[in-house]
A and B are shown apart, each in its own frame.
Chain A
Amino acid sequence: MTIRVQEDDFDLTRIYSELREAPTGQHTPGAISLFVGLVRDMNNNHTVAAMTLEHYPGMTETRLTAIRDAAMTRWPLGKAIIIHRVGKLYPNDQIVLVGATSSHRQAATEATAFMMDYLKTEAPFWKSEQTADGVTEWVSTRESDMTARTRWQETK
């Protein structure tokens, strides 16, 4: 499964093993790039006690598939995978995993960054943070996320 939206945690060792294997009818990869996003215990100078992730079932999977497909088209990748968790998460929990394999490192690392930048700005997920005092707040967007995505439109 190359696109997964789930409440459960994911096992990095297992995903790594899957990525390491050659795609059907292709050569074994020369590079694996993996990005894992974690829940921080601090955000904007306040303590984060927990976080809840909401999403738009259906549209989320469609957008993630489109992002993955765009990466597969743009770089010579063997495999590409996106996993995103939803529901209640706590500091240090894994939230998101993006991975790509290729013959060479540049394609794999660029594709991983590309998928993450588009996920951040297009995939319909929303975070709310609970502070230690029990205050719940919706996380606001960062200008830097949009800037990060724009760089892929300028190059190539």
Chain B
Amino acid sequence: MNIRYFAWLREHIGASSEDITYDQTVKTVSDLVDVLRQQSTGHQKALADMTLVRVAVNQVYVDIDHPVTAHDEVAFFPPVTGG
């Protein structure tokens, strides 16, 4: 599973991308967030308040209860500020 981080989440985590070995117990984005929070204090900080975070699975916006599978690209980022 490939995880992508952007903007301040990337800064807290210290990486723009990481590969995570798929864990069978991870069924949804929410489960994945629980696993990622254990990785480091940076992860914990970045993913502490999910109301501040948007999620995309395979580059499509999803909710926190969206299912994830082994070959998904899951991205976490703040609300967008382009334009």
Contact surface of A with B, Cβ cutoff 8 Å: 37, 53-56, 58-59, 62, 84, 95-96, 116, 119-128, 138-141, 145
Contacts and interface: CB of A to CB of B under 8 A. Distances in A.
B24 interface: no
B39 interface: no
Given A126-B7, A138-B7, A53 B82 contact: yes
A56 B83 contact: no
Most chain B Cβ neighbours within 10 Å, of A37, A95, A120, A126: A126
B22 interface: no
Contacts of B8: 138
B83 to A, nearest CB: 4
A59 B82 contact: no
Contacts, number: 63
B1 to A, nearest CB: 17
Nearest to B7: A126
Contacts of B42: none
Nearest to B82: A125
A121 B80 contact: yes
A56 B77 contact: yes
B32 interface: no
A50 to B, nearest CB: 15
B43 interface: no
Contact of B80 (A62, A95, A141): A141
